[in-house]
Amino acid sequence: MIGRLLLRFILVPLGAVMALAAAGALIAVSQWNAFENVLAADPQAREDYVFALVAAGPLLFSLMSSWAHYTFVPALAGVLAAEAFAIRSLLFHAGNGAVCALVGWSLTGDLRDQPFLSNPTVLVAAGIAAGFVYWLIAGSSAGFWRPRGTARMVSPQP
């Protein structure tokens, strides 16, 4: 029981960090054309990939940090519910990510003002991806015990 508790204290934060990284990666990949349009004002910047990463990285980080502040509390509530009731469903964790992303988008006015994030579908997709990655790392084994409805399969004795 103590080993399982210690494992949860490792897997849950690791899953949360990797979920945030997955959401950021999905947003960066899906919005790369918009970032390229921002950099298109300077013809030299288009050929200089290092400059493109340096210019787009802080912009993405600032958007993700303001968005992540508003998605943290609802995501934490979902994770705590999953751990308390041993909810191991992929649909629950993906839905939790989608709802948290939508809540974060609706609470941050600066995201709605950005031309490439004015539509919440990209952020909801990022939330679903984050929920899926969290489920892969920590959600599929959520809870400190096996749910009551599942019994250990015992092969019949001859």
pLDDT in tens, 132-150: 999 999 888 887 665 555 5
Asked if residue 134 lies in contact with residue 18, where contact means CB atoms within 8 angstroms, the answer is yes
Q: Domain of residue 37: give its range.
A: 9-141
Total count of domains within the chain: 1
Residue 151 lies in a domain: no
pLDDT of residue 62: 63
Amino acid at 56: A
Distance CA 36, CA 120 (A): 20
Residue 146 lies in a domain: no
> What is the 8-class DSSP label of residue 31?
T
Joined together, the tokens standing for residue 40 give: 């298109």
Residue 84 lies in a domain: yes
Residue 24 lies in a domain: yes
Amino acid at 75: A
Of the two residues 101 and 66, the one the predictor is more confident about is 101
pLDDT of residue 155: 60
Residue 152 lies in a domain: no
Report helix, strand or coil for 153: coil
